[in-house]
Amino acid sequence: MELKLKPIELPGVEMKRPIVIAGPCSAETDEQVMNTARELAENGIKIFRAGIWKPRTRPGAFEGVGSAGLPWLQRVKQETGMYIAVEVATAQHVYEAIKFGVDIVWIGARTTANPFAVQEIADALRGSDMPVLVKNPVNPDLELWIGAFERLNRAGICRLGAIHRGFSVYDKSRFRNHPQWQIPIELRRRIPQLPIFTDPSHITGNSNLIQEVSQDAMDLNFDGLIIESHECPARAWSDASQQVTPAHLKIILNSLILRDHAIGDKSRVTLDELRAQIDKLDTQILESLAKRMNISKEIAKFKYDHNITVLQTRRYDEILKSRREKAEQFKLNPEFVIKVYEDIHEESVNTQTAVMKQLAEEQNKE
Ligand code: PEP
Ligand code: MN
């Protein structure tokens, strides 16, 4: 279905890239909320976030202060003039948020993955003009993400935005949630008018990487950033490692380079966006190569322990044959792919030989 979208537009907020939403992962106390909010407002932040109902992976962790936090957010609104945003996961959360004058709600990643929950939220929002931001589902499923926008849109909610917060992976890399940039890029291609916010806090899980991922998002021409900021990250009751102080946030935002793009024409992909996509893919290729070489080292140890030679010609022939077939399947030039694999194989053999030599030397010493 074609989405009927309206711009989010908040009086007094310039909808200029990057549109920034900032605030703590969780509202903890009245003071923590107010102190953080005041500092952020002084630094020019216009939209304040705070989780009050927290979906936690394991029970027993801090699950949010609940509705008790809503008056604190009302106070933020009254005293700083910032707009306030909270996460909702049930119809009851929606009713409470509306009652307390919340300006924006977002649907969390675990909730987006559940169509029943999204439908319940959409039904509860029916008849309101609430802007709703939808985080990507925890799993890399673009259709499920788009499905959530469709459910909200069918309930008459037109002021929609997407939050890209990365995707769960079993083997942790340097990111808490893998960005898989190709997914929000494809979302932009499919629904060009939908604003996309990047959430570098939940992508990285690490306050030292927020700047880098924020810049990546700007290079891809995404619209906004939602960043967790806490008056004292080390003492935060949730997501301590990824939160930044308001002062640190200011430094990050000031450092961002905003490259030109075709203003008002989001469907046009610019040269910078294409280059940023290439950069992302190259990083993935290099990460894969590094993983491959590490496995080669494991293999070398195995061969050493079992007295097997490094070079296994039959295996090499199989690799070349199957990679040639794959190349054809992916419409790549097979000659080019074979050349690349000859180099990779050579490097792998050299690495294995070096590992085996080292193991032999160590054994001789013993
Ligand atoms: C959050 O924004 O604090 C949150 C719980 O995020 P996510 O749904 O992306 O895990
Ligand atoms: Mn969080």
Per-residue pLDDT of the chain (366 residues; tens, 9 = 90+): 899 999 999 999 999 999 999 999 999 999 999 999 999 999 999 999 999 999 988 898 999 999 999 999 999 999 999 999 999 999 999 999 999 999 999 999 999 999 999 999 999 999 999 999 999 999 999 999 999 999 999 999 999 999 999 999 887 788 999 999 999 999 999 999 999 999 999 999 999 999 999 999 999 999 999 999 999 999 999 999 999 999 999 999 999 999 876 545 555 567 777 888 898 899 999 999 999 999 999 999 998 999 888 888 888 899 999 999 999 999 999 999 999 999 999 999 999 999 999 999 998 988
Domain boundary among 229, 255, 281: 255
Domain boundary among 214, 236, 255: 255
Question: Is 234 in the same domain as 301?
Answer: no
Q: Give pLDDT, residue 210.
A: 98
pLDDT digits (tens, 9 = 90+) for 3-52: 999 999 999 999 999 999 999 999 999 999 999 999 999 999 999 999 99
Q: Which ligand 1 atom is nearest residue 111's CA?
A: 8
Q: Give pLDDT, residue 264.
A: 52
Question: Is 321 in the same domain as 348?
Answer: yes
Question: Is 158 in the same domain as 237?
Answer: yes
Q: Give pLDDT, residue 363.
A: 87
Residue 172 falls inside a structural domain:
yes
Question: Is 175 in the same domain as 304?
Answer: no
Question: Which of the listed residues 62, 65, 87 should we mutate to test ligand 1's pocket, taking the one with most ligand atoms within 8 A of CB?
Answer: 87
Å from CA of 108 to ligand 1 middle: 5
Å from CA of 202 to ligand 2 middle: 6
Question: Is 232 in the same domain as 288?
Answer: no
Q: What is the total count of domains within the chain?
A: 2
Which has the closest alpha carbon to 134: 68, 179, 183, 89?
A: 89
Ligand nearest to the CA of 238: 2
Is the CB of 65 within 6 Å of ligand 1?
no
Name the token pair of 209: 């990487």
Ligand nearest to the CA of 230: 2
Tell me, what amino acid is at 9?
A: E
Residue 41 falls inside a structural domain:
yes
Is the CB of 164 within 6 Å of ligand 1?
no
Q: Give pLDDT, residue 171.
A: 76
Q: How many CB atoms lie within 10 A of CB 336?
A: 10
CB-based contact 110:55 (threshold 8 Å): yes
Is the CB of 230 within 6 Å of ligand 1?
no
CA distance 97 to 107: 13
Q: Give pLDDT, residue 181.
A: 94
Question: Is 227 in the same domain as 276?
Answer: no
Ligand nearest to the CA of 138: 1
Residue 3 falls inside a structural domain:
no
pTM over the 0.85 mark: no
Residue 9 falls inside a structural domain:
no
Is the CB of 138 within 6 Å of ligand 1?
no
Is the CB of 165 within 6 Å of ligand 1?
yes
**Run of H or E residues at 125:** helix 115-125
Residue 269 falls inside a structural domain:
yes
Question: Is 135 in the same domain as 237?
Answer: yes
**Which residues constitute the domain of residue 35?**
19-255
Cβ neighbours for 86, distance < 8 A, ≥ 6 positions apart: 49, 50, 51, 52, 53, 70, 73, 93, 97, 102, 105, 106
pLDDT digits (tens, 9 = 90+) for 189-217: 999 999 999 999 999 999 999 999 999 99
Domain boundary among 203, 223, 255: 255
Question: Which of the listed residues 21, 105, 121, 202 should we mutate to test ligand 1's pocket, taking the one with most ligand atoms within 8 A of CB?
Answer: 202
Q: Which ligand 1 atom is nearest residue 51's CA?
A: 3
Is the CB of 131 within 6 Å of ligand 1?
no
Name the token pair of 242: 């990824």
Å from CA of 335 to ligand 1 middle: 46
CB-based contact 264:270 (threshold 8 Å): no
Å from CA of 147 to ligand 2 middle: 24
Å from CA of 202 to ligand 1 middle: 7
Question: Is 152 in the same domain as 298?
Answer: no
Question: Is 107 in the same domain as 59?
Answer: yes
Q: Do β-strands 224-228 and 47-49 pair in parallel, antiparallel, or remain unpaired? A: unpaired
Question: Is 214 in the same domain as 285?
Answer: no
Q: Give pLDDT, residue 265.
A: 55
Q: Which ligand 1 atom is nearest residue 199's CA?
A: 9
CATH of the domain at 336: 1.20.59.10
Is the CB of 93 within 6 Å of ligand 1?
no
Which has the closest alpha carbon to 224: 133, 118, 159?
A: 133
Buried-exposed string 103-118: b where 16+ CB fall within 10 A, e elsewhere:
bbbbbbbbbbbeeebb
Residue 151 falls inside a structural domain:
yes
Residue 8 falls inside a structural domain:
no
Question: Is 337 in the same domain as 218?
Answer: no
- Phi/psi at 19 (5° precision): -75, 125
Q: Do β-strands 160-164 and 196-198 pair in parallel, antiparallel, or remain unpaired? A: parallel
DSSP 190-217: HSTTS-EEE-HHHHHS-GGGHHHHHHHH
Is the CB of 303 within 6 Å of ligand 1?
no
Question: Is 247 in the same domain as 314?
Answer: no
